[in-house]
Amino acid sequence: MADLSVEFCGVRFENPIVLASGVLGVTADSMAQVVRNGAGGVTSKSLWPYEHFGHPNPTIVTSEHYMLNAVGIPDAGPEKAREELARFREVCKAPFIANIVGGKMEDYVAIAKEVALMQPDIVEINISCPNVEDELGKPMACSIAKSSEVTKLVKAALKEAGAGHVPVTVKLSPNVENIVSIATSVLEAGADGITAINTVGPGMAINIDFAQPILANRVGGLSGPAIKPLAVKYVYDIYRAHKCPIIGTGGVCTGADAIEMMMAGATLVGVGSAVWLRGQDVFGQIVKEMNDWCDAHGVEKLSSLIGKAHAHS
């Protein structure tokens, strides 16, 4: 039995598989169930500083190879999030990553101060959702200046709220010319790690019987197996440039996928769309497959695989 534990920015995880933001991370019960199902930690859905409405249904298209979502980041606001997190803490010891979002810079400052009160283990700044562009414009992750500014503001807000010790990761978009330069800017601005990647696109699926887009929003962020090679490459590129802590996310469905992501440079591995493809106990399945792979290959410590693909470059 291999040692599957990893340390991410000083936080210990029993295993590297974490629930990705927006997928089941809504209530205390759903997050605790994800941990019972085998995940090493959970990420909340994106939290706003105020109530926020998502897009009308239908919001999700699934297939064997990909998902499109235009959920639109609905949220009941910080009071509800505080209640759910307090209940989660009562029943579950696994690390909790609070993912935060906003429309304007001030929103990020406000929600950072709110989540500081929730005592998260890590804060993840979502600046990269592609399916709210009609409402918010181009994601901040597309601009070096905005990515850097939001990182500095959130770090300062956490410090002011007495949570300056909480590590911060910034969730990056694949829909940019040069993801490494964005990673460089947020790390220079004080980010402790990077989450890569958010969904790709947006993309579209058309119902040919009705001759119209399936999603009410017409377009949605692309995720699932189809995006894994992109996610692996971006994690690889960011790790090669910075050797920083990375939550590698995008298309991971199996233990082999997760190991591939770690070899590219990820310390933690986010799993989202796989819940639709393999069911809610996918976390335990992936962990078991990683363990079996380690046993078969004589790997005693899973963390020894982080960045291993770089040895050959």
- Contact residues toward ligand FMN (CB under 6 A) are 20-23, 45-46, 60, 67, 69, 71, 73, 99, 126, 129, 171, 198-199, 223-224, 227, 249-252, 270-274
Shorter beta-carbon distance to ligand FMN: residue 102 or 307: 102
Shorter beta-carbon distance to ligand FMN: residue 55 or 171: 171
CB of 298 to ligand FMN, least distance (A): 29
Which residue of the chain is nearest ligand FMN when measured via CB?
22
Q: The tokens of 70 are what?
A: 């235009």
CB of 60 to ligand FMN, least distance (A): 6
**Pairing label, strands 17-19, 268-271:** parallel
Given phi > 0 = left and psi -120 to 50 = alpha, else beta, which region is 222? Answer: beta
Nearest by Cα to 124 from 46, 221, 67, 66: 46
CB of 99 to ligand FMN, least distance (A): 5
CB of 194 to ligand FMN, least distance (A): 12
CB of 127 to ligand FMN, least distance (A): 9
Shorter beta-carbon distance to ligand FMN: residue 109 or 274: 274
Task: Supply the angle between the helices 255-264 and 228-242 in degrees, to the nearest 10.
Answer: 30
Length of the chain: 313
Shorter beta-carbon distance to ligand FMN: residue 21 or 151: 21
Out of 129, 142, 244, 294, which one is annotated catalytic?
Answer: 129
Burial of 87 (0-12, 13-18, 19+ CB in 10 A): middle
Torsional sign, CA 290, 254, 237, 20: negative
Burial 47-79 (b: 16+ CB within 10 A, else e): bbbeebeebeeebebeeeebbbbbbbbbbeebe
User: Can 9 be counted among the known catalytic residues?
Assistant: no
Shorter beta-carbon distance to ligand FMN: residue 2 or 99: 99
- The partner residues of 99 in beta bridges, in order of sequence, read 124
Contact 100, 255 (CB under 8 A): no
Catalytic residues: 129
